Structure 1
Amino acid sequence: MRFAIVGGGWYGCHLATALDALGMQVKLFERHSRLFHEASGNNQFRLHQGFHYPRHHATRMQSRDGFMRFVERYPQLSASVPHNIYAVPAYDSDMDFSTYRLIMTATGVEFSELTDSPVKLQSVSGTIATHERVLMISRSREYFERKLASRLTLNCQVESIVDHGTHVSVDGEPYDFVIDATWGHLTRPAIDVFYEPTMLLYYEGPVAFPALTFVDGALCSLYPTEDQAIYTLSSVPHTPLGRYASSEEARASLGRVNGDLIALKVAQMEEQISKYYPGFRDLFRFVGPQLAIKTKPIGAHDDRSCSVTRKGRVFNVMSGKIDTIFTATERVLSLLEMSVASDESTGSTLRQDILGMAL
């Protein structure tokens, strides 16, 4: 079988290597000059275990299981975060600390409650420490470019996908199936989505400073990157730059980002995190913004789980989590197996059997 995969992020790269390992003919198209150029390389670099999502069971379970599988499959593409703290604010969280702790205990992921935090926080009702990892984006980019080699086509903007029933063509070239891993930037997903341009902020700070995540609700987090002295600051209310019905509108919004907007976001996010960690401005220095676009499902409250849909010979992959790449691969193969089984079916003979017995 010949597969065309569009989008050279985590999902496109993992799917390409997985299908290639199964003996499929694979070609991966990426419109930029390198892999991980958009959302996969512009995010918080966090490999979750589900502690972000106490309000959505499926996302927690996929994060927990995906974390373990990711570390096993790609041990060299992430690094341990030495100190990783989740804190529940006393007044601003949508959930009290006891409820949060109970939910995470039921999830089955190891954590320890902190009685003495290594970072001086204020206005929090409880903190826990747990194991998470930071993604090594530069190393991942090099790994997949080497692994895919001749199966990778960079600097290639796919213009058309046409399903002919017996095959599907990508810019006129025939394939058996196409996987759209662009998060709705090429073909429209089967589920209702919106496009959210975002701005995270890069800060320089002390090496090996603890990761800080405040949960749950319209809060913020500080997380390390592959550079041990660079961190990202993210905020639920201040990181989004709008909500748009189309990819084109979201991209246009990023094009309007200017110095005034960046200065506003810096002020808002620093004020928010300083409410709980008053020492932030003393230790961290702003170095620049990080821009990206997220594609999110409409009406799915806190749902970041993986969705794979198929229309004809075109698969569409959607997920808000990097570590559900394995779930995506399994669902593509499952839908493919169902298709092959349907094509090979000879149909039911029950009606003929009944009529034969009646005679």
Structure 2
Amino acid sequence: MDGWFPCIMPHDDHIEGEENTKRKYIMTHGKYTIMGSFETYDEAVDCKNKLNDSFVAKTIKPLFEKDMNKYWPTFKNRFKYLGWISTIATKVKTEKEFRSALTWEKDGMIYVLSGKINNIFDAEQEVFSLLKLENILKWGGYNYVKDGELDRSINEVTEKPQHNVRNTSELQVYNELCSQHKHN
């Protein structure tokens, strides 16, 4: 599932030639996976560096399990927690949570921002068009591909989120959870 729900996905940790009888899974949650939304990379790294085993085990894990148990009551009996990992994801701040690939060129550098992994194939074609200078549109100092994803989605990409809607680009989960625990 996606959005404001827990999600569990198989993790492909099979090593060639090794028998692996216990499959691993990755669990994410739209409410609790995104620790915050930041204007700069350094701000995101700062928040990421504050996360630790104790915070995840005492604060995040119980919230994940509680919500997962709503949909799968035997979840805690079937799975064992092994640990957590974190990363920083770059996303475009939009009203409708835009997740397609955006590909453009500026000052001789080609940029690809792929919201989901399956978008890389569309981005590949757009990169080739930019390299060959085929079907290029210009906007300010930016070049992008005519009929490419940015061309098709320019209105959605430029529509900023309203602050009164649930939107992952406005989340500040880490700060909210720390604030709640200070008051408890």
Q: What is the TM-score when the length of structure 2 is the normalising length? A: 0.64
SS in 2 for 1:297: coil
Give, as a single letter, the amino acid of the residue that structure 2 aligns with 1:337.
K
Q: Which residue of 2 aligns with 1:311?
A: 106
Alpha-carbon contact 2:6-2:28 (below 8 Å) kept:
yes
Structure 2 residue aligned with 1:321, among 98, 101, 116? 116
Give, as a single letter, the amino acid of the residue that structure 1 aligns with 2:66.
E
> RMSD across aligned C-alpha pairs, in angstroms?
1.9
Q: Which residue of 1 aligns with 2:79?
A: 284
2:128 maps to 1:333:
yes
SS in 2 for 1:327: helix
- The separation in 1 between residues aligned to 2:87 and 2:41, in whole angstroms, is 12
Q: Which runs of 5+ in 2 are unaligned?
A: 14-21, 137-184
Structure 1 residue aligned with 2:49, among 222, 246, 255? 255
Matches within 5 A, 1:339-358: none
2:93 maps to 1:298:
yes
Q: Which residue of 1 aligns with 2:66?
A: 271
**CA-CA distance at 1:302 after TM superposition:** 2.6
SS in 1 for 2:104: strand
**CA-CA distance at 1:333 after TM superposition:** 1.2
CA separation of 1:295/1:340 partners in 2, compared to 1, >3 Å: closer, same or farther?
closer
- The separation in 1 between residues aligned to 2:50 and 2:78, in whole angstroms, is 31
Q: Which residue of 2 aligns with 1:12?
A: none
Q: Which residue of 2 aligns with 1:190?
A: none
Normalized per residue, the structure richer in strand is 1
Q: Which residue of 2 aligns with 1:223?
A: 9
**CA-CA distance at 1:258 after TM superposition:** 1.8
Alpha-carbon contact 2:48-2:86 (below 8 Å) kept:
yes
Residue-by-residue CA offset, 1:210-253 (whole Å, 9 max, x unaligned)? xxx3x5x4111111111361101110001111111111111121
CA separation of 1:340/1:326 partners in 2, compared to 1, >3 Å: closer, same or farther?
closer
Normalized per residue, the structure richer in helix is 2
Give, as a single letter, the amino acid of the residue that structure 2 aligns with 1:289.
W
2:18 maps to 1:232:
no
- The separation in 2 between residues aligned to 1:311 and 1:339, in whole angstroms, is 15
Q: Which residue of 2 aligns with 1:244?
A: 38
Matches within 5 A, 1:24-43: none
**CA-CA distance at 1:259 after TM superposition:** 2.8
Alignment length (residue pairs): 127
Q: Which runs of 5+ in 1 are unaligned?
A: 1-212, 342-359
**CA-CA distance at 1:323 after TM superposition:** 1.6
**CA-CA distance at 1:326 after TM superposition:** 1.5
Q: What is the TM-score when the length of structure 1 is the normalising length? A: 0.34
**CA-CA distance at 1:334 after TM superposition:** 1.1
